[in-house]
Structure 1
């Protein structure tokens, strides 16, 4: 990629919005930084400013995504589930869910000091799951659930209640769900 002209302030934030709107795939902070000829930290600050202006930008483990109305159809069904497992079973859990055509929107934990913490995951395919797990491994980061002995929630989304029910049943059969 050739050297880009350094973009300044509002011009840069407008360009970031256009780049995000032009694609359905996540764009990393590093990619956006290179394209705007600024540091990744400048991009992080710009994203924060754009979010403060109510731009529907989501930070995922794969990069930033612009969530235009067409990306969130009204008929999408959401359900929160409670799970518990050790970190070694994370890929198995996420793969099991996406194999039913269900998206894992986020992970939520109840931290004893900070309260509820939510992190966007947004995985819908085996490749996205593998990339997410690989990214955690390569960065040396911990899964949020490690802060709560494996207890966590996931928000699942699907266009089909049947697929959602099947994924939840499969999670239960595999021992991932917390029973009442």
Structure 2
């Protein structure tokens, strides 16, 4: 591609889809914009159009990822209710990924909007560090700050025992919301 030449419409969306499918790492909107010589907003619109075509693209704090079709290997999921301060977010996420878990999302119950869910998609300490860094760089509040620290995570693991162990570790660390 010649420097400065815009990649247009359907050709650009096709390239974006290919790059996302081939990438092992998330690709940021800025990176995709640079590759195609368009604005980041154009990329956001392209991603929306691709999602409307049922392409399994997810926006994460690290960038866009293409979620391949599920493998035959079964993953088990569980929602866990957690409670902690914003300063403890990194410790909580590191505790979970150290069990080999995928932390898929965070959910809160908002008094006006009802259930709000945001993608996290972290599975190792590097991804946690990137998530925390992005929050710091953008000065963004965590969803849990809207509910005084109360939130849910969807966690996934290759077996139920790992989920049980991670939940027990959350409880021991004081991050698990328990009934009084």
| Residues 1:102 and 2:87 are matched in the alignment | no
Give the match for residue 64 of structure 2: 64
TM-superposed deviation, 1:160: 2.0
TM-superposed deviation, 1:5: 2.9
Partners of 2:164 and 2:145 lie apart in 1 by: 27
5+ long unaligned stretches in structure 1 = none
Going from structure 1 to structure 2, the CA distance change for 1:90 and 1:73 (only over 3 Å counts) comes to: farther
Give the match for residue 168 of structure 1: 167
| TM-score normalized by the length of structure 2 | 0.95
Does the 8 Å CA contact 1:4/1:35 hold for their aligned counterparts?
no
5+ long unaligned stretches in structure 2 = none
Give the match for residue 18 of structure 1: 18
Deviations 1:29-76 (A, max 9, x none): 000000011000110111011101100001111000001115x55501
Deviations 1:114-152 (A, max 9, x none): 111111000000111111101101111100100111110
Partners of 2:2 and 2:143 lie apart in 1 by: 38
Partners of 1:166 and 1:173 lie apart in 2 by: 10
Give the match for residue 140 of structure 1: 139
| TM-score normalized by the length of structure 1 | 0.95
**Aligned-residue CA RMSD in angstroms?**
1.5
Q: Which runs of 4+ in 1 moved over 6 A?
A: none
Give the match for residue 6 of structure 1: 6
| Residues 1:85 and 2:90 are matched in the alignment | no
SS at match of 2:55: coil
Partners of 1:2 and 1:78 lie apart in 2 by: 46
Partners of 2:48 and 2:112 lie apart in 1 by: 24
SS at match of 2:20: helix
Partners of 1:78 and 1:5 lie apart in 2 by: 45
Greater mean deviation of Cα atoms: 170-179 or 3-12: 3-12
Partners of 2:14 and 2:161 lie apart in 1 by: 41
Partners of 1:5 and 1:119 lie apart in 2 by: 35
Partners of 1:74 and 1:115 lie apart in 2 by: 34
